[in-house]
Structure 1
Amino acid sequence: MPLAKYLLHPSPEEEKRKHKKKHLVQSPNSYFMDVKCPGCYKITMVFSHAQTVPTGRKARLTEGCSFRRKQH
């Protein structure tokens, strides 16, 4: 039975679903992002996988907030 997927060049969707240590090149799944509040226009830096009491796990943005992912 032939191998159905190419192991050297996996698709980006496949890499995104893997554990951070199982990627072809190890890298974390979390990231920092700038979030702008629509009311006061203040920019706050937020960690994507913050362990805060209300949300836990991945951070959830409220409606109307704009954000951008920080570059390394």
Structure 2
Amino acid sequence: MLWSSFSFLLIPCQRCKSCQNYKSWKGSLAKDLLHPSPEEEKRKHKKKRLVQSPNSYFMDVKCPGCYKITTVFSHAQTVVLCVGCSTVLCQPTGGKARLTEGCSFRRKQH
């Protein structure tokens, strides 16, 4: 197989596109940059995605005791208490807030 002068870029020359080696090379290293998988996009940094989007969101958290709904930020940095019964709904961590066991939540639409 003949390679172009920039062999370190792994670009085959135009004459070799019909050979078997090119087909196996194309299948193993080709990557569709315009249509990445959703899982792959979610793992990327929020500013390095194809379309920038934040990792944080607002959610409705239902208290397991009195069933009141409270709106909580996903990355809350303080302890969030229920308005009705003062139960702890979530506790801060380094990133996302940790919900208390028994609390159910629903992600809010924007």
Query: Which TM class, normalised by the smaller chain length?
Result: 0.7 to 0.9
Q: Extract unaligned runs of 5+ from structure 2.
A: 1-28, 78-91
Structure 1 position 59, deviation (Å):
1.1
- Listed one character per residue, the Cα deviations across residues 5-63 of structure 1 (whole Å, up to 9, x for unaligned) are 21101111111111111111111111000000110111111111122xx4341011111
**Distance in 1 separating the partners of 2:67 and 2:44:** 36
The 3-state SS of whatever aligns with 1:41 is coil
Higher helix share: 2
State the 4+ residue runs in structure 1 displaced beyond 2 angstroms. Answer: none
Structure 1 position 4, deviation (Å):
3.3
TM-score normalised by the chain length of structure 2: 0.57
TM-score normalised by the chain length of structure 1: 0.84
Task: Give aligned pairs, total.
Answer: 68
Larger-Rg structure:
2
Tell which has more relative contact order, 1 or 2 (C-alpha 8 A, sep 6+).
1
**Distance in 2 separating the partners of 1:10 and 1:48:** 26
The 3-state SS of whatever aligns with 2:52 is coil
**Distance in 1 separating the partners of 2:101 and 2:59:** 16
**Distance in 2 separating the partners of 1:4 and 1:47:** 39
Instruction: Check conservation: 1:50, 1:56, Cα contact below 8 A.
Output: no
